[in-house]
A and B are shown apart, each in its own frame.
Chain A
Amino acid sequence: MWRELPRLVYSLTLQVIKSKSYFAIFSLEMDWAIDLLLLKSRYLNLQKQFHPDKFLMKSSLEKRLAMQTASLINDAYDTLASPLKRAQYLLDLRGYDAQPERHTSCDGLFLMEQIELREELEMIEGQNQNQNTCKDLSERLGSFSTKIQHRYESLQNDFSESYAKGLLDNSFSVLGKMQFFAKLLDQVEDLESRLIICD
């Protein structure tokens, strides 16, 4: 049980630390606006070379290196493919503590909006218990979801513009709003999947 950890610095990890970015793994510019199709095709190309399945007949050391390399490629892809995680990661690299739980906003208007949207969702959820017809409920939830989705997408555009102009503080405050909408969307999806039960 008391064994040594495998060495924490592997070849690719080293590469990443040197270049300080996941973007380098996929030879992409360090920017929020990236070509997602290109990201995907490069991701698949790398996995075709480094997935553990390709090293099954190799020595145990190579197997371990392949697993760690493939894990890192997966993590890098997962981070860059998500609009929110990509934004967080970019600001992390610029020295901002961009984890959602550390982020509090003092924008009064936005706080109001948050409260209103949460109340709206709670209303819809409350209806669920009032035995309204499922169809009616899922329509209301659907239109709420579309509204949130649009808002989230326009915030992404804001972030993209602001980051491209080098306005980091502003980007950071947009990120806080993105985090709120991403979480709200999760809650909507959660409610949607609970609604599945009633049809």
Chain B
Amino acid sequence: MALMQIAEPGGFPSERRQQMRAVGIDLGTTNSLIAVVEDGAPKVLPDSNGAFLIPSVVHYEKDGDVLVGANAQSRVLTDPLNTLSSIKRLLGRGITDMPRLGNKLPYEVEVREGGMPTILTRYGPVSPVQVSSEILRCAVSAGKAYFGSEIDGAVITVPAYFDDSQRQATKDAATLAGIKVLRLLNEPTAAAIAYGLNESEEGIIAVYDLGGGTFDISILRLTKGVFEVLATGGNSALGGDDFDRVIADWLCEQTGIGPSIDPSTQRLVMTAARSAKEDLTLAECTSITTLGWRGVLSREHFYKMIDSLISETMRTCKRVMSDANVKSNQIREVVLVGGSSRIPLVREKVNDLFGCKARSELDPDQVVALGAAIQADNLAGNRQSEDMLLLDVLPLSLGIETMGGLTEKIIPRNTTIPVSKSQEFTTFKDGQTAMSIHIVQGERELVSDCRSLARFDLRDIPPMVAGSAKVLVTYEVDADGLLNVSAMEKTSQVVSRIEVKPSYGLDENEILRMLDDSIRYSKDDILIRNLREQQVEADRLIEDLTSALDRDSDMLTKNELLSLQQSIADLRIFRAECSDHNELSVRIGNVAKTSESFAERRMNKSIQLALAGQTLEALEKG
């Protein structure tokens, strides 16, 4: 165990703060994992049964209980309609995705108002966000057992190719599970971190990640602790599940049962298919016994059936290499991630394409969680070395609908995030007073071929001649890859702004309501947790401001200094006495507001110092 720092009584640690209890969670289609960093090395935590892989399966019991993981998986065959697996395929998906996904799912899906799919269980309708939050809660319980207390925050991984709705839905699921999300981290990037930190790696690497339900390929450049993603691509609906399904379809054909089979039989066939697939990783052929049918499936035949799916991933790899402006001979090594990368055909094709060393010495099922734990430790400030930097990219272009249902790209794919871009638009008709802004994501020309993220209206534009209003639309993507959009009419300064999530996600009130509804969370628990969160926030602010004043109090006038010192002292007293998280939150907000201009001055100074440092370096060189 790393040494915990204990503050002097009444004082605050000036440089190092207490170690944060930070975890990395890989929320997978088939399995989920949780990992932590212990003594500088990442490790996956076992659940209460001692297993490292938590099956991403949720079962709703008759008495209202919810089972997650291995306990739920044992109900897959006996109670298929109330046992939900591969839910990640539906997460953040909308009504338009259903024809492609829905009819293949062995449970009942209904599309609710607002376009979000829900699954009908005996517990009532549940959303993919809710189901995912159960899985996250289960993973976190292993973290709680490890630390012996609540966790402080988590890095949660998402497929690099997830669009904005899918990312937002993942974040909503975490919020619903009561988890503070430090960062959403792309899965291939997490794998690169897990490999890259073992040695001082340098050069260009590719990460080929074929999981249970998603495929990602990322190309990164590593230089002295910097992980720079050059380009990424993938398919968020292609993975090991699809290989199972191909075998299952073949089995249905062989056994003579039609495509319209009951859910129990469907699960039975899928289970047989999956175990056949796993057998074929090691054996040349496997015998299958299911539904009174016996037969043999050879590896060769299996390869023939999945060849087109694997080839699709190879085509994506080529496109991403071209996006990254990298030739295969420049790639030093390729990292294999995800359970499906174990299939020998996949390895063979990856070797052929990249022609370099393929690495898989870290367990392909665990490597994403391990990388997430390292990044969580890093973000929480627990690491000694501050030199690690991760620069990730936007996976899919963000655009806006223009006249004629066409997409105008505002931020192209593979742009480094965070990023902010603005574009000016104008009115189409004389006297037009409102403008409808439709935000889309995707590479296609037509709006109807892209994912619709959100719509909002900019109203109260003063009536003008067509073409003379100047509407500045700004897209801001943060380091989680999540989008915010604002629009402003420049002559009148009319502003409208939206956080992009209403299309398929949940709004904040809905999450709060669900939190309240949650029967396994007593109201008191929530209150205690909320208060604890605000106390941590207050401590952090007090500590930050105290150390900032130690260094930079000369930036403030005497009055400013006195008033800031006073409000810090007041907050310290209030924090010790207050038992209402809302009141504490308001106080924290007030102190933060008082210190705003101080923070801005400090930031400005540090930027000037950074720039001056460069100038000095330039002078020395010249």
Question: Interface on A for B, CB 8 Å cutoff?
Answer: 1-5, 10-12, 14-15, 24-27, 42, 44-54, 56-62, 65-72, 74-75, 77-78, 189, 192-193, 196-197
Contact = CB atoms under 8 A, between A and B. Distances in A.
A12 B608 CA distance: 9
B389 A53 contact: yes
B337 interface: no
B607 A42 contact: no
B611 A24 contact: yes
Interface in B301-341: 315, 318-319, 322
Given A75-B419, A193-B322, A196-B315, 11 more contacts: A27-B617, A48-B226, A51-B390, A56-B183, A60-B592, A65-B599, A66-B603, A70-B418, A71-B420, A74-B416, A189-B322
Interface residues of B, number: 55
Interface string B477-506: 011000000101000000111100000000
B416 A26 contact: no
B352 to A, nearest CB: 12
A152 B603 CA distance: 41
Contacts, number: 129
A98 B54 CA distance: 56
A56 B608 CA distance: 21
A69 B456 contact: no
B324 to A, nearest CB: 12
Secondary structure call for the B interface: mixed
Given A5-B495, A11-B603, A26 B387 contact: no
A96 B470 CA distance: 21
Contacts of B618: 27
Secondary structure call for the A interface: helix
Contacts of A65: 599-600, 603
B338 to A, nearest CB: 22
B540 A57 contact: yes
B380 A27 contact: no
A70 B391 CA distance: 11
A46 B610 contact: yes
A2 B495 contact: yes
Nearest to B494: A2
Contacts of A45: 610, 614
B229 interface: no
A15 B606 contact: no
A53 B315 contact: no
B289 to A, nearest CB: 40
Given A1-B497, A75-B419, A53 B479 contact: yes
Nearest to A68: B420
12 contacts: A15-B608, A42-B614, A51-B479, A53-B378, A54-B386, A56-B182, A56-B379, A57-B381, A57-B540, A59-B541, A74-B416, A74-B417
B426 interface: no
Nearest to A19: B611
Nearest to B615: A27
B429 interface: no
A3 B497 contact: yes
A98 to B, nearest CB: 16
A49 B610 contact: yes
Interface in B583-622: 592, 595-596, 599-600, 603-604, 606-608, 610-611, 614-615, 617-618
Contacts of A24: 611
From B486, B540, B614, residue with most partner A Cβ within 10 Å: B614
A14 B618 CA distance: 22
B249 interface: no
Given A2-B496, A52-B479, A74-B418, A11 B389 contact: no
Contacts of B417: 74
A193 B608 CA distance: 44
Contacts of B541: 59
A67 B389 contact: no
B315 A59 contact: no
A170 to B, nearest CB: 29
A12 B610 CA distance: 11
A77 B191 CA distance: 27
A15 B607 contact: yes
A57 B495 contact: no
A66 B607 CA distance: 10
A42 B430 CA distance: 49
Contacts of B596: 61
A78 B418 CA distance: 12
